Structure formats: C-alpha cells, structure tokens
Amino acid sequence: MGRCAEAEEHSSGQKVGRIQLFDITHRKKDRSPMTSEAGEIMNKLKDKKAKYEAIASSDSFVNLEDIDNRIITEVLGPKRSQQYMPTESQTQAEVQRLRDQMAQMHVSTVEQIAQLKTEAAAREAEQNRKYNELQQHL
C-alpha cells in the first residue's frame, strides 16, 4: 500500500489520507469497488467525511488528518487495523512469552554447560587414572 500512496502523492502533488488510501486500494482498474462491502464502506467513509468537513470548516483547530483517523476508526472499528498491527496487550504478551522462552533457554544452557563440565572432569579423571597406571607399570 505504501507504493500506491507514494504514486498517488507524486501524481497529485498532495498527501494521501487514510480514507483516500482505502479508496485507492479497494477499487478495480475501472474505478468500481472491488466488492460490494468495499463499496458500502466507501460510501460510509464519504458520508462521515462530509459531515466532519462541515464541522471542520467552522472550527479552524480541527486537524483534517485526525478527522480521517477518527472516521476510519468509526466506520471500520478499532479492530480492523489490528489485522496488520497487534494491540499493545498482544505485543506485551508476546514480549513476555519471548522473555519466558529466553529464560527457559538460559536455564537449559546453564544445565547443559554444567553437565558438559561434569563429563569433561570425569574424562580428565579417567585419563589421569590411566596415565598414573601406565607410569606405575614403567
């Protein structure tokens, strides 16, 4: 979607908002909506944008980019964006899962190192014993 927005920005010379990006990415080459659902969503987005722009025209403190974000959230819902971006709690849960996994791997590695040291010490003791035996026979 990034390339599509960049191409549109380049050709029109204006920054592409989220609503315009949705419109661009959900139309066929003949400019018809890809699906009937996409068409319904586009109509809802246009209606809400017209209402918000009417309000914004009387209030100079309203940021049009914020309006686009608010409209997208109202029409698509906050869950829609989570298809691509996990929520903060999902991210925190994933971080905790990875920390737990790292701790488990650390414990396992420490245990393996201790076992290898024990085995190496046992081999060294066996070699010393055999060496001493050979020294006594000479």
Three-state DSSP class for 62?
A: coil
Residue 18: the pLDDT is 83
- The predicted model scores a pTM of 0.46
Helices (H), 26-87: 36-58, 64-76
DSSP conformation letters of 78-125: TTGGGGTS--HHHHHHHHHHHHHHHHHHHHHHHHHHHHHHHHHHHHHH
- pLDDT (tens digit, 0 to 9) for every residue of the chain, 138 residues total? 455 545 555 466 677 788 888 899 899 999 999 899 989 999 999 998 888 887 777 766 666 667 888 888 888 876 644 555 567 778 888 889 899 999 999 999 999 999 999 999 999 999 999 999 999 988
